[in-house]
Amino acid sequence: MKFLDEAKVFVKAGDGGDGVIAFRREKYIEFGGPDGGNGGRGGDVIIEAVDGLNTLIDYRYAQHFKARKGGNGSGSDRSGAASDSVTMKVPVGTQILAEDKETLLADLDEPGKRAIIATGGDGGHGNAHFKTATNRSPRRADKGWPGEERWIWLRLKLIADAGLVGLPNAGKSTFLAASSSARPKIADYPFTTLHPQLGVVRLSHAEEFVLADIPGLIEGAAEGAGLGTRFLGHVERCAVLLHLIDGTQPDPGAAYAMVREELLAYGGGLADKPEIVALNKLDAMTPQAKAARLKALERACGGPVLLISGVTGAGVPEALRALADRIVEARESVA
C-alpha cells in the first residue's frame, strides 16, 4: 500500500429540509388551521480516528464528501426526517487543518476520537410554527439553513514513542530491523528509506514502545534539498530522539551539527526534545578510529555517546534501554 501522509478534501454538510405551508382540511371539522411541519436537519460530516490504518491513500482519489439534505416537512404537522451523518475514517494521529494549511481544527491522536468538521443546517419552520392568537392562518414557511462546507487538509503524524534521525546511510533502517520485527528496505546507497517506518520494540512481556524511522536529512533539507523535512512531522510526537551517526565517516561531529541545524530550522520543538546520540557501525571501525571519532562526537554534542552496531547487535540493548527510560520519564511527567 502506498504511503500518503497528506490529502486535501472538500466536505459539505447537508442542508436543512424546507418547512411547508399546509392547512388542515378534514370533513366535518369546521375549523382547520395551519399544520405545515418543519424541515429535518441536514447530516454532519464527521472525521474519526480508527486503528488499523496507517496512510491517507483512501483520500487521494475520493476528495469530495457530502452529507444528505434533511427531509422537507409535510402536512398534518409532520416534520421532515433528519439525515444521517457522513463519517470519514482516518489513521490515529491525523490532524485536520483549514484550507490555509496552518489553522488546526482538530488533532485526532487517540483511537475513537471524533470531530464534527462540517455541521448540518437546521430545518426551516413550517407555517404551523408561526400561528398565534392574532395570526391564525400564517402563510409563511422557511427554507432550510445551508450546511457548512469547506476545503480541509488531512495531515498524518504517526504516533511513536521514539524517533530515529540522522543523515542518509547512518544505519537507521538497520537499527529498526535489529530492534523490532519491522522489515524496512536496507541498501548501501542514500535515501533507501522513502517514507516513514514504524516498529514495535519489546524489551519484556510488559514493556514495549513504538520506534519510528524517517528518511535521512541532508544539508539544506529545510529548504527542500533531498526529501526535505516533510517527514519530520512524524517524530514531533516522540518523547525522545535517537540520533544515529555513521561511524565510518571521517568527521562525525560535522554530521551531528548538520542534522541539528536542520532540526532547528524545521521547528516544531524537535531541537528541544531529549536526545540520545549513538555512534553506529561499530563493526566497521578500527580501534583507533573508534576512539578518535567517539571523542570528536562527544565534543560536538557536549555529552555521552553510545557505541552501537545495528549489524552485529552490539550496544543495541543498551540504546533501547536508554530510550525506554526516557519514554517512561516523559509519560510520568505528563501523567
Report the predicted TM-score, pTM, of the whole model to 2 decimal places.
0.74
User: Is 193 annotated among the ligand-binding residues?
Assistant: yes
Match domain 1-156 to its CATH number in 2.70.210.12, 1.10.3720.10, 3.90.1530.30, 3.40.50.720.
Answer: 2.70.210.12
User: Is 142 annotated among the ligand-binding residues?
Assistant: no
User: Is 310 annotated among the ligand-binding residues?
Assistant: yes
User: Is 192 annotated among the ligand-binding residues?
Assistant: yes
User: Is 49 annotated among the ligand-binding residues?
Assistant: no
How far apart, in whole angstroms, are the C-alpha atoms of residue 128 and residue 20? 9
User: Is 213 annotated among the ligand-binding residues?
Assistant: yes
CB 29 within 8 A of CB 90: no
CA dist 304 to 216, 243, 276, 294, 312, Å? 23, 12, 8, 9, 22
CB 146 within 8 A of CB 121: yes
User: Is 8 annotated among the ligand-binding residues?
Assistant: no
User: Is 172 annotated among the ligand-binding residues?
Assistant: yes
* Residue 86 φ/ψ, nearest 5 degrees: -100, 125
How far apart, in whole angstroms, are the C-alpha atoms of residue 306 and residue 332? 25
How far apart, in whole angstroms, are the C-alpha atoms of residue 147 and residue 239? 40
User: Is 87 annotated among the ligand-binding residues?
Assistant: no
Least Cα distance to 80 among 68, 64, 95 occurs for: 68
User: Is 181 annotated among the ligand-binding residues?
Assistant: no
User: Is 56 annotated among the ligand-binding residues?
Assistant: no
Q: What is the pLDDT of residues 287-322, one digit of tens each?
A: 888 889 889 888 988 888 889 888 888 888 898 898
User: Is 280 annotated among the ligand-binding residues?
Assistant: yes
CB 262 within 8 A of CB 296: no
User: Is 217 annotated among the ligand-binding residues?
Assistant: no
CA dist 76 to 21, 41, 182, 231, Å? 11, 19, 64, 59
Q: What is the pLDDT of residues 89-138, one digit of tens each?
A: 998 889 999 999 889 999 998 899 999 999 999 999 999 999 988 888 89
Taking CA 226 as the corner, what is the angle to CA 224 and CA 231, rounded to the nearest 5 degrees? 75
User: Is 144 annotated among the ligand-binding residues?
Assistant: no
Residue 47: which pLDDT band, with cuts at 50, 70 and 90? very high
CB 193 within 8 A of CB 181: no
How far apart, in whole angstroms, are the C-alpha atoms of residue 104 and residue 96? 6
**Quick one: how many helices (H) and strands (E) in the chain?**
5, 14
Least Cα distance to 316 among 199, 144, 167, 176 occurs for: 176
User: Is 152 annotated among the ligand-binding residues?
Assistant: no
Q: What is the pLDDT of residues 203-255, one digit of tens each?
A: 877 788 888 887 766 665 555 554 446 667 777 788 888 898 888 888 888 88
How far apart, in whole angstroms, are the C-alpha atoms of residue 171 and residue 190? 10
User: Is 215 annotated among the ligand-binding residues?
Assistant: yes
How far apart, in whole angstroms, are the C-alpha atoms of residue 207 and residue 2? 31
How far apart, in whole angstroms, are the C-alpha atoms of residue 92 and residue 3? 14
Q: Where in the chain is the domain with CATH 3.40.50.300?
A: 162-334
Supply 301's cell numbers: 554534542
More confident residue, 225 or 47: 47
Secondary structure of residue 164 in the 3-state scheme: strand
User: Is 74 annotated among the ligand-binding residues?
Assistant: no
Q: What is the mean pLDDT of residues 258-263?
A: 85
What is the topology classification, in CATH, of domain 162-334? Answer: Rossmann fold (3.40.50)
User: Is 137 annotated among the ligand-binding residues?
Assistant: no
User: Is 166 annotated among the ligand-binding residues?
Assistant: yes
CB 208 within 8 A of CB 243: no
Q: Where in the chain is the domain with CATH 2.70.210.12?
A: 1-156
Q: Which residues contact 79 (CB under 8 A, 6 or more apart)?
A: 37, 38, 39, 40, 73, 123
User: Is 309 annotated among the ligand-binding residues?
Assistant: yes
